[in-house]
Amino acid sequence: MKVKDDPRLAGQWPPLEWGTAGAPSHGTVGRLAPPAGVGVLIDVKCVNSPPSRHITLVKEHNGQRFRAQIVIEDGDFRRTLYEVLRRYTGLTIAEIGEKDLDLWSHADKRLVGCSHLKPNTGNRVFDSLRKLWQRYSSGKQFGEKYQRARAVIQLALFQKLRNQRKVNAISSFLFSEEPPKEIDYPNLERDAFAALDEDPELEELVWETLVVKLGLCRAYDNRDLFERILEGPVFKNMGGKRPVRDVAHYARLIDRIYARFSGKQGGAESKGNQGQRGFPDA
């Protein structure tokens, strides 16, 4: 459902009363405020404490900023709307009104109805994505955690294979990216699963990181990659086997695997620069 059509926002979208930023917006309309749908949304804040549980919006037009509030007593809906509005910062108020209010509609339908997942696995993955999104709602922390996990996985694979080109190809395969075209690797899938089968802890990290990547795809509305992961051989192979743990477990898992392999590679600096350091191709 579009933001402008949701009955819970009846009479509140677009906000009609805009005060100049820095001045109270209750019942006042800035003398120079543009029409309600005009102006670019530049900031959103969510206030969850009484007496007024609301969302504050700041828009900009012709170099001036204006502020409005949307009062929402329903806590779940207030948080959902807040995340939607944060995602659409940079669009005009009118453009936001045309956007989908449900951030998770596509992910929900695809995961819960995914035929190659065992019963309830889709629901568990979907619930985990919701929790991850709530925990890493800024997106920045979400991406940083994913990048660290990818670097640790690269490090572990290199210690096992001692061949950076193969490591790059296997890593790309595991996360549904295009493997490097310059490498002839006819047994790519076999070798990728063999490396994980002999190391259950590493396999668990790959699975958890794949789930996090699904969350990133949903956060940035990358549906093509979301579908590629969901229909890829790795997700199909692992999807029904492993539980999805909480964020604290994921962080500990990254640290634990890094500790196992980093001593052989010379510390934290090397893990992010393997491709540039000229590791030997055995």
How does pLDDT run across 148-173, given as a tens digit for each residue? Answer: 999 999 999 999 999 999 999 999 99
**pLDDT tens-digit map of 227-251:** 888 888 898 888 766 666 666 788 8
pTM of this prediction? 0.58
SS3 55: strand
Q: Are 99 and 214 within 8 A, CB to CB?
A: no
Same-domain status, 39 and 116: no
Specify the pLDDT at position 200.
93
Q: Order the strands of the 64-71 sheet from edge to edge.
A: 19-20, 64-71, 54-61, 40-47
Q: At what angle do helices 105-112 and 223-231 cross, to 10 degrees?
A: 10
CA distance 176 to 165: 17
CB-facing half-sphere around the CA of 75: CA atoms within 13 A: 3
Same-domain status, 138 and 228: yes
What would the mean pLDDT of 135-145 be, rounded to a whole number?
Answer: 58
Q: Are 262 and 155 within 8 A, CB to CB?
A: yes
Is 171 a domain residue?
A: yes
pLDDT band at residue 49 under the 50/70/90 scheme: confident
Nearest to 216 by CA among 47, 103, 81: 103
Which among 60, 76, 97 is the end of a domain? 97
Which among 97, 115, 133 is the end of a domain? 97
CA distance 17 to 14: 9
What would the mean pLDDT of 73-80 be, rounded to a whole number?
Answer: 80
Q: How many domains, the chain?
A: 2
Residues near 273 by Cβ (< 8 Å), separated by ≥ 6?
none
Specify the pLDDT at position 272.
40
Same-domain status, 174 and 262: yes
DSSP conformational letter for 98: T
CB-facing half-sphere around the CA of 252: CA atoms within 13 A: 5
Is 282 a domain residue?
A: no
Residues near 62 by Cβ (< 8 Å), separated by ≥ 6?
34
Say if residue 135 is exposed, middle or buried (CB neighbours under 10 Å; 0-12, 13-18, 19+): middle
What would the mean pLDDT of 129-148 be, rounded to a whole number?
Answer: 63
Which of the listed ranges 82-86, 89-93, 114-118, 165-169 does the model predict with the highest average pLDDT? Answer: 165-169
* Number of residues that make up the chain: 282
- Report angle CA 91, 220, 257 to the nearest 5 degrees: 145
Which among 64, 97, 130 is the end of a domain? 97
Same-domain status, 231 and 153: yes
Percent of the chain with pLDDT over 70: 68
Domain residue limits at 211? 106-276
Specify the pLDDT at position 27.
41
Same-domain status, 83 and 215: no
CA distance 278 to 265: 13
pLDDT beyond 50 at 279: no
Residues near 63 by Cβ (< 8 Å), separated by ≥ 6?
none
Say if residue 47 is exposed, middle or buried (CB neighbours under 10 Å; 0-12, 13-18, 19+): middle
Is 240 a domain residue?
A: yes
Same-domain status, 164 and 90: no
